[in-house]
Each structure stands twice: as C-alpha cells, then as structure tokens.
C-alpha cells in the first residue's frame, strides 16, 4: 500500500430541506387548516479516528465529500428525514488544517475520537409552524438553510515512541529490521528508505514503537535530497535515536549535519531527548571505535559512556541500547497515567471482595 501523509480535500455539509405549504382537505371537514411539515436537517461532516490505518491514500483518488441533503417537508404534518452524515475516517495522528495549511483545526491522537467538523443546515419550517390565532391559514414556509463548505488539508504525523534520524546509509533500516518484525528495504546505496517505516520493539517485556525515516543530508531544509518533509513524523516522538555510520571518516561532521538540519526545521526537535549510537561496530577495530566515540562525544558534549557502540548486522550492543531507550519512554508513560488518574482514585488496583 502506498504511503501518503498529506492530502487536500473539499467538504460540504448537507443543505436543510424546505418546509411545506399544505392544507388539510377532507370531505366532511370544513376548515381543515394548515398541515405542512418541516424540512429535515442536512447531514453533518464528521471526522473519526480509527485503528488499522497508517496512510491517507484513501484521499488521493477522492477529494470531494458532501453530506446528504435533508428531505423536504410534506403534507399531513409529515416532516422530512435528516440528511445522511459523511464520515471521514483517518489514521491516528492526523491533523486537520485550514486552507492556508498552517492553522490547525483538529488534532486526532486517540482511536475513537469523533468530531463534528461541519454542521448541516437546519430544515425550514412548514406552514403548520406559523399557525396561530392571528394567522389561522398561513400560506408560506421557510426554505432550508444551506450547508457549509470549505477546503481542508489532512496531514498525518505518525505516532511513535522513538524516531530514527541520521544520514543515508547510517544503518537505520538494518537497525529496525534487527530489533522488530518490520522488513524495510535494505541496500548498499543512499536513500533506500523512501517513506517512513514503523516497527514494534520489545525489551524486558515492554514494547514501544520505532519510526525509521528517510535519511537527511546537508541542505535538507531547503529541499536537497528528499528534503525534511518526513520530519513531521518525529514531532510526536518521545526520544530521538541518532544513528551514525561508524565506518565514515568524519563522524563529527555527520553528527553536526543532522543537528543542523533538525535546528533549521524547528518545531522543538532539538529540544527532544537524544540518544547517540555509533553503528556498524562489526567493521571497526577497538582503537578506531574508541577514537570515533570520543569524537562524537566531543561534538555532542556528552560523556563517552553516553555514546552507544552497536551493530545492526551482528546485534552487538543492541540490547543495552534498547534498554536505554525504554527507560525515558516508560517514565513518560507512568507520568501520563498519573496525570490522567483522578485525584481521589486509589493508586493501585481495588482490593478483592467476595
């Protein structure tokens, strides 16, 4: 299935049905009076966050969505039926933006979220509504209100716990394949990964989601290479894992290039916690690995012990790195659960009672 993370759509809520002008005419009833029914309301435009989707490809081939029009009122006090709603099903992490592409209208981050985006037009009153002592035979009814229409942008930001960043051929896809059941494309040329890939990683009985992004190169924020359009998918990540190819000559330049592109992109990516890993340890001897770890530590201004030496090919150092990634993720989950728990709720499970 093709990956699509941006789509522009046109939505319109339904028009309300018109009211009816009608009078009761029966053989033995001399003064029947008005009995025109009201028109039905127009359908709403609803946005729903559902499970099982990870792309906006459904909105690639259909961009126009219109809710149903309310049925007109009829005689004998029959009101029109309500127009059918149109439901836009989107994956978790989808943002709805105004036509300018900047103003965020909705941010759907939980499965089951359901929001009425545009209300349908109200149905018009029939002439029976206007009947009264001063006007016992009204001969007018209201037309239905028109629906609302607008253009919108859908923007998907994948929700993952860890975001993999690095230069092309840093071994991000190999790392994802070695730690999860994901099977991204792996090859010995740059830009093998052309779209984000997700994988579920397990360590010590705990699971978290890792997102592998296409590699960045210098000038990505100006559109060089694949650009930085996929960096939106790490805006929601709890922590960044910066993978550096240990076989290249200047590992300091590699680290600084990625940090420079993250800073140019903005959106708080440089403020996120970061773990650094020197990859492809199987191709390095001990002295070379120590020297490059020291160089990266100087550039990142962290202790040497904070730079992990790993190999996605052989699995060296992978388990320790996963444990280091899991600690801040689990701490954040615990803090979120504590914040969501009511103040008067017990800290643990309720005691058993017969």
Is there a contact between 74 and 19 (Cβ–Cβ < 8 Å)? no
Q: Which residue has the tokens 């728990």?
A: 341
- One domain for residues 138 and 168: no
Give the span between the Cα atoms of 20 and 106, in whole angstroms: 38
- Tell me if 351 is assigned to some domain: no
Give the span between the Cα atoms of 351 and 178, in whole angstroms: 42
What is the pLDDT, as a whole number, of residue 31? Answer: 78
Give the span between the Cα atoms of 245 and 168, in whole angstroms: 9
Percent of the chain with pLDDT over 90: 27
At 1, is the pLDDT very low, low, confident or very high (cuts 50, 70, 90)? very low
- Tell me if 84 is assigned to some domain: yes
- One domain for residues 142 and 192: no
pTM: 0.72
Pick from 72-81, 219-228, 270-279, 284-293: least confident = 219-228
- Tell me if 344 is assigned to some domain: no
- One domain for residues 194 and 249: yes
Each residue of 314-323: pLDDT tens digit? 888 888 888 8
Q: How many CB atoms lie within 10 A of CB 181?
A: 10
What mean pLDDT, rounded, does the chain reach? Answer: 84
CA 126 to each of CA 12, 20, 41, 71: distance values in angstroms, whole numbers, following the listed order: 25, 5, 13, 12
- One domain for residues 176 and 146: no
pLDDT score of 58 more than 50: yes
At 119, is the pLDDT very low, low, confident or very high (cuts 50, 70, 90)? very high
Each residue of 191-214: pLDDT tens digit? 666 667 778 888 888 888 888 877
What CATH number is attached to the domain comprising 198?
Answer: 3.40.50.300
Q: State the DSSP code for 72.
A: P
Q: State the DSSP code for 84.
A: P
Q: Which of the given ranges, 51-55, 213-217, 271-275, has the highest pLDDT on average?
A: 271-275
- Tell me if 216 is assigned to some domain: yes
Percent of the chain with pLDDT over 70: 89
Is there a contact between 61 and 79 (Cβ–Cβ < 8 Å)? no
At 334, is the pLDDT very low, low, confident or very high (cuts 50, 70, 90)? confident
Q: Please tell me the total count of domains within the chain.
A: 2
Out of 130, 156, 182, a domain closes at: 156
pLDDT score of 123 more than 70: yes
Q: Which residue has the tokens 């984000």?
A: 196
Give the span between the Cα atoms of 178 and 124, in whole angstroms: 63
What is the pLDDT, as a whole number, of residue 55? Answer: 82
Is there a contact between 289 and 309 (Cβ–Cβ < 8 Å)? yes
What CATH number is attached to the domain comprising 104?
Answer: 2.70.210.12
- Tell me if 350 is assigned to some domain: no
Mean pLDDT calculated for residue range 2-9: 80
- One domain for residues 245 and 277: yes
Each residue of 245-254: pLDDT tens digit? 888 888 888 8
The parent domain of residue 30 ranges over: 1-156
- Tell me if 172 is assigned to some domain: yes
- Tell me if 312 is assigned to some domain: yes
- One domain for residues 218 and 127: no
- 205 exposure class (CB count in 10 Å sphere: 0-12, 13-18, 19+): exposed
- One domain for residues 218 and 327: yes
Each residue of 273-322: pLDDT tens digit? 888 888 888 888 888 888 888 988 888 888 888 888 888 888 888 888 88
Pick from 132-146, 168-182, 215-229: least confident = 215-229
- One domain for residues 32 and 152: yes
- One domain for residues 180 and 152: no
- One domain for residues 143 and 273: no
- One domain for residues 75 and 41: yes
What is the pLDDT, as a whole number, of residue 347? Answer: 54
Mean pLDDT calculated for residue range 69-84: 93
- One domain for residues 83 and 108: yes
Mean pLDDT calculated for residue range 61-89: 93
- Tell me if 318 is assigned to some domain: yes
What is the pLDDT, as a whole number, of residue 66? Answer: 95
What is the pLDDT, as a whole number, of residue 110? Answer: 87
Which tokens in the block code for residue 150? 């607008």
What is the pLDDT, as a whole number, of residue 300? Answer: 85
For the packed helices 251-265 and 286-300, what is the interaxial angle rounded to 10 degrees?
Answer: 30
């Amino acid at each position: 299935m093709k990956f699509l993370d941006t789509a522009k759509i046109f939505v319109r809520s339904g028009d309300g049905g018109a009211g009816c002008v009608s009078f009761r005419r029966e053989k033995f009833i001399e003064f029947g009076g008005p009995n025109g029914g009201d028109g039905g309301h127009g359908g709403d435009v609803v946005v729903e966050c559902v499970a099982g989707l990870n792309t906006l490809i459904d909105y690639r081939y259909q961009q126009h969505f219109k809710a149903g029009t309310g049925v007109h009122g009829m005689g004998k006090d029959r009101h029109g039926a309500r127009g059918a709603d149109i439901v836009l099903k989107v994956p978790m992490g989808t943002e709805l933006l105004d036509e300018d592409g900047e103003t965020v209208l909705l941010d759907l981050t939980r499965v089951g979220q359901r929001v009425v985006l545009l209300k349908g037009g109200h149905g018009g009153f029939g002439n029976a509504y206007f009947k009264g002592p001063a006007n016992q035979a009204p001969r007018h009814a209201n037309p239905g209100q028109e629906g609302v229409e607008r253009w919108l942008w859908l923007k998907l930001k994948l929700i993952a716990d860890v975001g993999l960043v690095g230069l092309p051929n840093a071994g991000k896809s190999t790392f994802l394949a070695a730690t999860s059941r994901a099977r991204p494309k792996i090859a010995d040329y740059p830009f093998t990964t052309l779209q984000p890939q997700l994988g579920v990683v397990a360590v010590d009985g705990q699971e978290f989601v890792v997102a592998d992004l296409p590699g960045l190169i210098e000038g990505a924020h100006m559109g060089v290479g694949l650009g930085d359009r996929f960096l939106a998918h790490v805006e929601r990540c709890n922590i960044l894992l910066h993978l550096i190819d240990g076989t290249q000559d200047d590992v300091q330049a590699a680290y600084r290039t990625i940090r420079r592109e993250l800073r140019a992109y903005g959106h708080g990516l440089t403020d996120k916690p970061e773990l650094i890993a020197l990859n492809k340890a199987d191709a390095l001897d001990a002295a070379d690995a120590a020297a490059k770890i020291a160089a990266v530590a100087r550039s990142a201004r962290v202790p040497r012990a904070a730079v992990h030496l790993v190999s996605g090919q052989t699995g060296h150092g992978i388990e320790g790195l996963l444990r280091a990634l899991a600690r801040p993720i689990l701490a954040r989950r615990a803090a979120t659960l504590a914040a969501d728990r009511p103040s008067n709720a017990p800290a643990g499970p309720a005691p058993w009672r017969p």
